[in-house]
């Protein structure tokens, strides 16, 4: 269950980041992450997702602003803040000659946690890595290396877990294993923040969605509410007789012909109480337009995301 705890676990206040070359990657970011939620941060390439995560994790310094993670200021109280966070980066950089077990044990020790073989065994078993615990990392497949990254991030029992592009280059099986594991972690009270290009992942997993574009957080919303608010519904009518154009009497309706005139699509706002369908069907009948089938569809989170970040005013690139 999503916790409705009103006390956020992460506070991001007025974060700006200008890289040394002068490029402003983040502009006045304010964000609260609720305890126990799965929060998906979406944005096109270069939007600033990794920069924001890196600042929260203390890997990159903000130019201005403050962040608190599980009650600790991420700059003044870096070690305690960092100890509450597990970060699954996109790539594994080190440890190639170490065994899986040694790597995970080392990661736990880094945060000053007492050894706990039973906990680490559970983490490795949950990730189907237990049988590989004595193998060197360099001998593992790409998917298994990914699992090691997750195990390393969980080794010190963090209360917050960041997953940066967890599905990039991952096969379907691992993706589903990961989704299952993320849900289990959330059920145990871990807060999860993920960045993803794979919108289906956010649609499947997230409680809330943040959309970042050109360094600005343009939307933060409960996923279901976002889909209700910005989603469009469509009614597709399969016509009995194909049409080449619509009669003038239907000009006022948001209708499009497709499939060589065989289908008529009516788009409507899912927020409105009245869909207008009953009136549309009456008007079609008055014009002698008959149909043999009808179905309705809703826009996906991907449709909504694309409409948010690819505004017609965009002039870049
Ligand atoms: N060390 C750096 N120095 C200068 N500019 C940087 C640096 N790191 C990132 N940037 C720039 O900041 C912007 C945001 O990058 P960031 O990696 O945070 O984006 P992102 O949303 O994670 O993108 P992607 O989805 O491609 O990983 C980009 O334009 C990037 O080129």
Question: Are 215 and 258 in the same domain?
Answer: no
196 touches ligand 1 (CB under 6 Å): no
Q: Specify if 119 maps to a domain.
A: yes
Measuring CA to CA, how many Å separate 119 from each of 113, 123, 192?
12, 6, 19
Quote the CA–CA distance of 205 and 184 in Å, as a whole number.
12
* ipTM of the complex, rounded to two decimals: 0.95
Question: Are 153 and 141 in the same domain?
Answer: yes
**Quick one: which atom of ligand 1 is closest to the CA of 90?**
27
263 touches ligand 1 (CB under 6 Å): no
Q: Specify if 4 maps to a domain.
A: no
Question: Are 169 and 271 in the same domain?
Answer: no
Domain interval for residue 127: 10-228
Question: Are 205 and 61 in the same domain?
Answer: yes
Best residue for ligand 1 mutational test, from 15, 17, 19, 201 (most atoms within 8 Å of Cβ): 19
Taking the centre of ligand 1 as the mean of its atom positions, its distance from the CA of residue 298, in whole angstroms, is 33
Question: Are 42 and 92 in the same domain?
Answer: yes
Question: Are 112 and 261 in the same domain?
Answer: no
Q: Specify if 18 maps to a domain.
A: yes
Tens-level pLDDT at each residue, the chain (317 residues): 444 455 899 999 999 999 999 999 999 999 999 999 999 999 888 899 999 999 999 989 999 999 999 999 999 999 999 999 999 988 766 668 899 999 999 999 998 889 999 999 999 998 889 999 999 999 998 888 888 999 999 999 999 999 998 887 778 888 888 888 889 889 989 999 999 877 788 888 899 999 999 999 999 999 888 877 766 778 899 999 999 998 888 888 888 898 899 999 888 876 677 778 889 999 999 999 999 998 887 767 777 777 777 655 444 43
Shortest-distance Cα residue to atom 12 of ligand 1: 25
Q: Specify if 105 maps to a domain.
A: yes
For the domain that residue 251 is a member of, what is the CATH number? 3.30.70.1560
47 touches ligand 1 (CB under 6 Å): yes
For the domain that residue 130 is a member of, what is the CATH number? 3.40.50.300
Q: Specify if 314 maps to a domain.
A: no
Taking the centre of ligand 1 as the mean of its atom positions, its distance from the CA of residue 80, in whole angstroms, is 27
Q: What share of the chain is helix, strand, coil (3-state, %, to 5)?
A: 35, 30, 40
163 touches ligand 1 (CB under 6 Å): no
19 touches ligand 1 (CB under 6 Å): yes
Question: Are 238 and 223 in the same domain?
Answer: no
Question: Are 15 and 84 in the same domain?
Answer: yes
Q: Specify if 315 maps to a domain.
A: no
Domain count, the chain: 2
CA torsion, ordered 196, 176, 161, 58, to nearest 10 deg: -40
Q: Specify if 62 maps to a domain.
A: yes
Q: Specify if 306 maps to a domain.
A: no
Q: What is the DSSP string of 67-133?
A: EEETTEETTTTHHHHHHTEEEE-SS--S-TTSBHHHHHHHHHHHTTPPP-HHHHHHHHHHTT-GGGT
Question: Are 241 and 254 in the same domain?
Answer: yes
Question: Are 41 and 183 in the same domain?
Answer: yes
Best residue for ligand 1 mutational test, from 21, 24, 25 (most atoms within 8 Å of Cβ): 25
Question: Are 108 and 213 in the same domain?
Answer: yes
Shortest-distance Cα residue to atom 2 of ligand 1: 19
Question: Are 210 and 273 in the same domain?
Answer: no
């Amino acid at each position: 269950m999503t916790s409705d705890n009103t006390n956020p676990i992460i506070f991001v206040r007025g974060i700006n980041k200008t890289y040394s070359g002068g490029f402003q990657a983040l502009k006045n970011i304010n964000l609260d992450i609720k305890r126990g939620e799965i929060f998906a941060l979406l944005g096109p390439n270069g939007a600033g997702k990794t920069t924001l995560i890196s600042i929260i994790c203390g890997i990159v310094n903000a130019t201005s602003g403050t962040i608190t993670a599980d009650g600790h200021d991420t700059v003044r109280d870096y070690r305690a803040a960092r100890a509450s966070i597990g970060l699954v980066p996109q790539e594994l950089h080190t440890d190639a000659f170490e065994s899986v077990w040694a790597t995970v044990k080392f990661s736990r020790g880094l945060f000053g946690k007492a050894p706990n073989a039973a906990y680490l065994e559970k983490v490795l078993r949950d990730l189907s890595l237990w049988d590989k615990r004595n193998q060197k990392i360099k001998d593992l497949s790409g998917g298994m290396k990914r699992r090691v990254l997750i195990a390393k991030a969980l080794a010190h029992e963090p209360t917050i877990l960041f997953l940066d592009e967890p599905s990039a280059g991952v096969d379907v099986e691992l993706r589903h294993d990961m989704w299952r594991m993320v849900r289990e972690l959330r059920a145990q009270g871990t807060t999860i923040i993920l960045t993803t290009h794979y919108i289906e992942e956010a649609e499947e997993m997230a409680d809330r969605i943040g959309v970042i574009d050109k360094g600005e957080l343009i939307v933060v919303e409960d996923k279901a509410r976002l889909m209700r608010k910005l989603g469009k519904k469509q009614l597709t009518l399969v016509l009995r007789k194909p049409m080449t154009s619509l009669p003038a009497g239907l000009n006022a309706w948001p209708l499009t012909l497709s499939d060589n005139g065989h289908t008529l699509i009516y788009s409507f706002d899912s927020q409105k109480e009245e869909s207008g369908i009953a009136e549309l069907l009456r008007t079609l009948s008055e014009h002698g337009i008959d149909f043999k089938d009808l179905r309705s569809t809703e826009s996906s989170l991907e449709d909504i995301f694309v409409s948010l970040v690819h505004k017609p005013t965009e002039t870049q690139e």
